[in-house]
Structures are given as structure tokens and as C-alpha cells.
Chain A
Amino acid sequence: MLSRLSLCRRHPLCQHFAAVVAASRRPVATFEAAPVAPLTPPRQTPNVMHGTRLATDPRWRRRMREDLYRRRMLAGPEPERPRSVWSNWSRRAELSAAAHRLGLAGLAGFSQQWLDRVLTFRESAEADGVTADSSIAHQNVAKGYELDDESSDSVAMATSSTPAESMPRDNAELVPTGRALIAEHCGRFLARELPHVPENLREQAVSLLTSDQSLSFVAGHLGLAELLSGVDTRPSMLPLSVEADAFAALVASAKLCCPNLSEGDEAAWRLTRDFLLTRLHNSDINEWWTIDAQRRLPLLSESLAAAGFPADEPLEFRLMGQSAPESPVYSCFQVGLYIRREFLSSGFGETAAQAQDECVSEALKTLFDTADSRAPMNFKLTYADLASALE
């Protein structure tokens, strides 16, 4: 009875049958058991075979390819899996490589175990299922392939001076220390590089730099996201805050693992400087904070007062150039800001009012020293320079 129907491949029942067969035959290496529902109604496959006909294939092969493709589409997408479930993964090797990549392998107190703990989150250290080294790795151990001890590592890392008992079990205490350290580093760096910018604007920039989004971006690009244990490292399940915490824990660990204080400070500072603060390079620093439109003129007056111009000096806006009468198409006004008959800044706009607003923004940039023509930021500062500049 079913054999006649199965000859007609377009019949919905046959397609449904094909889907069930495909799901049962293919060894789907699901990360968690995917529920197979054989009684769901057959889906309409989209016509994705348009334009994929190979003229050189014989007809039977074309139809076979189309059928296989249709079955694959019915079976649904590949389940999302963390990187560690594939067989080419060794946590020991990955941690060792990460330590060298981050420049921490040379530090006195650093070791692979320390990095392991730094990237371990507490909560689901007891919960299951989501740790690295999955069943495939266990199979490798059973076959005798996996050599998971440090003694066989030809590229040995520095042995840790920290005894195993004193190492923290996870990074719960490192995270807040790290976050505070990063905020301090960013604040100090901006205070040194942008001394004329008011502190509330610098704080806005620091809060953007140290936001979860920013830190998780850095952590992702350093390859930390795959190395976390105790959390689900699948990209769709990993929250930004967890990645950010991983980077913070790393910075704290660089400081705390060194017995020598200054070496630790320098190592932690270099991580922040080289990976986080370089996000300011090649970006307009004025984009890192917002000044309300109503606040611009008062801020300008305050900044001028701080720069030494007395408060009663009037600001003169003079029309410096005009290319056409005010019209929405061709007009371009240039307005200049003069104080005490000295030129301060100029701005362009379609109307004189817009040009004046732009002029005020440019004046603020000149006073804050954040114009395009300012010197580039110094990303080679050492921690000693940073600390001494503020004393």
C-alpha cells in the first residue's frame, strides 16, 4: 500500500516519511537531546533548488541530489554546539596557547592551572553537561590517544610558584577586582591623555569602554569565550556579562599571580592598554561622550572661564562666508566664533543657526584638545608613567 505512494516523491506523506527516516538514520551529535516529533505535519520546503540544476549530471543523479537536499532541509539546521565537543580540542593545549597569546606565559606565578581557574565560573561547576572535553575526548582516553598530563608537554609553561591549595577554585573573587582595576586604568589613562576634558565627559567615555558590550567584544577576540568552563559557551547562550567578567578576571589574575607587585601591576595594565584602550585608536574621541544641545553654550562659557577668559567677555559670532542665500539646496554658511577679537573656531551649516551650533562644537573641541589635529594617544605608556603623571 505504501509502496505506490512512495514512488511519487511529491506526495506530502512521502516527504514526511523521508524526514522521519532522515532524522532517525543520521547520527546527530546533539549537544542536548533534540526532541524528535514524528507526528508533526510535513512542512512545505521552500523552492531552494532553483538554479541549481547541473546540466552535466545525468537525470538520475540530478534527482538524487534534489532529493537529498530536500531531506536535509526537512531535517532542520545543525544544532549549535560549543567548540569543545569536536575531537580536535585539548583544554590543556588551548589554555597553554591562550597564555602565550596573551603574553602571560612569562609571568612568574602564572600557570595553566591558574588560567583554568580564572576562566572557571562558579555556578555550574556543579551543574552538568556543559563542560569541555565531551564524550569524544573520553573515547580518546579509552583508546589511549589522549595524553593529558603536563609532563609530556614539550612546550612547557613556567611552573607555578603558587601551590595548588592556595589557588582559588573559580574566578568569583577575581571578577569584581578585575572590573575595578579596568575602570581605574581607563580613568587614569583618559585623565592623562585628555586633561582638558571635563571629568563627567571622561566618565561617560570610561563607562562606554568598560561596558559589558565592550569587554565582551575584547574577550571574544582574545578567544576567551571558548575556554570558559562552568557556563554554556555556545555563542547564543553566552551572555555578554559573562564574557566581560572573564576578561576582568584575567586582568585581576595578571596582577595577583605575580609575587612582585610592580610586575603584576604592569602586566595587568598592559592587558587593559593593549586590548581595551586601543579601541580609542582610529576613532573620534568626541563620539565617546554626548553633550546635550542645550548644554553646549553653558559648557563653552565654563570652559572659557576655566581657560582664563573672564566670564563677562562676550562671545561674538561673525558670518565668515556664505555661498548662497538661505535655501535648502545650495546654501553653505560659515560662522566664526571670536572672543576678545581673537578667532576661536569656525563651523559650517546649511543655515546660519546650524553653522553657529557647529561653531560651538568646534570651539569645545579646541578647548578640550580633542580636535582631529591633536596628537595621537600614547599607547606605549608604562604603568610607572601612568602612576607618576597623576602624582
Chain B
Amino acid sequence: SRQMLPRVFLSQPLQNGVSRYTCQLKRITLKFCKFRPNSLGAREFIENGDFLEFARANPQVACYLKPRRNRPPVLQAEFANGSVQLARIDSFPAEFVRRWFWLMRGRSGDDLLPLHENLRSFHPSVQGVWTPFTFGRSVGLGDLPDSRHRPMSPSATELIQQLHRLQSARMS
């Protein structure tokens, strides 16, 4: 939610995709135990040939296997921007492990944070952003006296003019 996590703007490392797309996953390590039951999915993933299939389909990713005794299985993905993401695949079926592999392949390595917006543009306005002066309005310019300004009390000139009008009316 907005209060707990900071929001970020949509971005790609090194403007990935503007002229060429580079897979941001550099290396992926599958750490598993050869004996414990929570690594069963990981072991099946390897034995079914899915690991080799992933490695062959993604020559740009260095794939490692790291058997570790008495430790839960973990997927460690290292990305081009230097970040490392760990996926705990404790007791996952082999299909889920496979999906995590392919998910990491598509990630950029940026932290998973909420976005301000699902799109970002550095030129959001095509015709120009509206300003109060866009359509020629100007508030502070003008000649005085302005007929729109009504004085609170008549000026000396106006008083004399008023007197003259009354006198003329009385005379005629």
C-alpha cells in the first residue's frame, strides 16, 4: 500500500527495449538438497530435463546447480543491475519451479514496488501544457481608469460633474 512502500516510476535499466532487448538475467543458481523431501520438486525439475531445457533455450543466462545438504531449496537469480533475488521453492512441485525459472528470465531485477502509473512519458503534452495565458487572457494588464472598476465613493471630478448635471436640469 502507499503508506508502507514507496512508489516508483516505470523505468528500464539502460533503456532496455528502446533499440534492442537484452535479457537482464545474468545467472541463476538452483540450490537444493539431494535427500530432503522439500527439495523433491527441485530434484524432479532437474531430472525431468527442464533445467537443461531452460539452459539451452537461454544461452545468455549462466545456470548453476548447487547441492547443499540439509538446506531448503532456493532459486537465486542475479540481474544485470546487480540485484539478487531469492525465491524460496520449499516443497514446490517441479512445474512451479519451472515457472519461477522462466519468471526470473523475464524480470529486470528492479525491486517489486508499486508504481505511480502503469505508463510513463517524458512528453505528456502534445500541444503544450495549458497556462492561464494560452488563449490570450491576461489579468494584470489594462488601462486605467477601467469601466469595470466601480469606485466606492465618487471622485471630486465626478461630484462637480454631478452638480453641473443637476444645475443644468434645474435651469432647463
Please name the residue on chain A nearest to B55 by beta carbon.
A155
Per-residue 0/1 for A266-293: is the Cβ within 8 Å of any B Cβ (1 yes, 0 no)? 0000100111001101111000000000
Whether B19 contacts A278 by the Cβ 8 Å rule is: yes
CB of B81 closer than 8 Å to a CB of A: yes
Q: Give the complex CA separation of A322 and B27 in angstroms.
A: 60
Number of A-B contacts (CB under 8 A): 97
Which of A31-39, A62-70, A167-175, A219-227 faces chain B? A219-227
Q: Which residues of B sit under 8 angstroms from A270, Cβ to Cβ?
A: 20
**Partner of B59 from A96, A284, A323 at Cβ < 8 Å:** A96
**Partner of B14 from A103, A218, A348, A372 at Cβ < 8 Å:** A218
Whether A221 contacts B81 by the Cβ 8 Å rule is: yes
Q: Which residues of B sit under 8 angstroms from A222, Cβ to Cβ?
A: 14, 22, 80
Whether A321 contacts B60 by the Cβ 8 Å rule is: no
Whether B14 contacts A321 by the Cβ 8 Å rule is: no
Q: Which residues of B sit under 8 angstroms from A322, Cβ to Cβ?
A: 138-141
**Partner of A87 from B15, B66, B137 at Cβ < 8 Å:** B66
Q: Give the complex CA separation of A154 and B59 in angstroms.
A: 10
Whether B141 contacts A221 by the Cβ 8 Å rule is: no
A320 in contact with B62 given A101-B23, A278-B18 (CB within 8 Å): no
CB of B130 closer than 8 Å to a CB of A: no
Whether B60 contacts A100 by the Cβ 8 Å rule is: yes
Whether B60 contacts A278 by the Cβ 8 Å rule is: no
Q: Which residues of A sit under 8 angstroms from B128, Cβ to Cβ?
A: 373
Please name the residue on chain A nearest to B140 by beta carbon.
A322
Q: Which residues of B sit under 8 angstroms from A320, Cβ to Cβ?
A: 133, 138
Q: Which residues of B sit under 8 angstroms from A103, Cβ to Cβ?
A: 20, 22
Whether A97 contacts B26 by the Cβ 8 Å rule is: yes
Within 8 A of B (CB), among A299-347: 319-325, 332, 334
Please name the residue on chain A nearest to B29 by beta carbon.
A88
Q: Give the complex CA separation of A218 and B140 in angstroms.
A: 51
CB of B114 closer than 8 Å to a CB of A: no
Q: Give the complex CA separation of A283 and B120 in angstroms.
A: 13
Per-residue 0/1 for A202-227: is the Cβ within 8 Å of any B Cβ (1 yes, 0 no)? 00000000000000001011110000
Q: Which residues of A sit under 8 angstroms from B14, Cβ to Cβ?
A: 218, 221-222, 275, 278-279
Within 8 A of A (CB), among B39-54: 52
Q: How many residues of B contact A (CB 8 A)?
A: 37
Q: Which residues of B sit under 8 angstroms from A319, Cβ to Cβ?
A: 141
Whether A97 contacts B62 by the Cβ 8 Å rule is: yes
CB of A94 closer than 8 Å to a CB of B: yes
- The winner among A94, A274, A281, A334 for most chain B CB atoms within 10 A is A274
Please name the residue on chain B nearest to A227 by beta carbon.
B26
Please name the residue on chain B nearest to A276 by beta carbon.
B14
Please name the residue on chain B nearest to A93 by beta carbon.
B62
A323 in contact with B56 given A94-B62, A103-B20, A274-B20 (CB within 8 Å): no
Whether B141 contacts A100 by the Cβ 8 Å rule is: no
Whether B27 contacts A94 by the Cβ 8 Å rule is: yes
Q: Which residues of A sit under 8 angstroms from B96, Cβ to Cβ?
A: none
Whether B141 contacts A321 by the Cβ 8 Å rule is: yes
Q: Which residues of A sit under 8 angstroms from B22, Cβ to Cβ?
A: 101-103, 222, 274
- The winner among B62, B64, B122, B141 for most chain A CB atoms within 10 A is B62
Measuring CB to CB, which residues of chain A are less than 8 angstroms from any residue of chain B? 87-90, 93-94, 96-97, 100-103, 105, 154-155, 218, 220-223, 270, 273-275, 278-279, 281-284, 319-325, 332, 334, 348, 372-373, 379-380
5 nearest A-B pairs in the assembled complex, by CB-CB distance: A321-B133, A379-B19, A322-B140, A278-B15, A100-B60
A-B contact pairs, 26 of them (CB 8 A): A88-B76, A90-B62, A90-B64, A93-B63, A94-B62, A97-B27, A97-B61, A101-B23, A102-B22, A155-B56, A218-B14, A221-B13, A221-B14, A222-B14, A274-B20, A278-B15, A282-B15, A283-B122, A319-B141, A320-B138, A321-B137, A322-B138, A348-B131, A373-B126, A373-B128, A379-B18
Measuring CB to CB, which residues of chain B are less than 8 angstroms from any residue of chain A? 13-15, 18-20, 22-23, 26-27, 29, 52, 55-56, 59-64, 66, 76, 80-82, 122-123, 126, 128, 131-133, 137-141
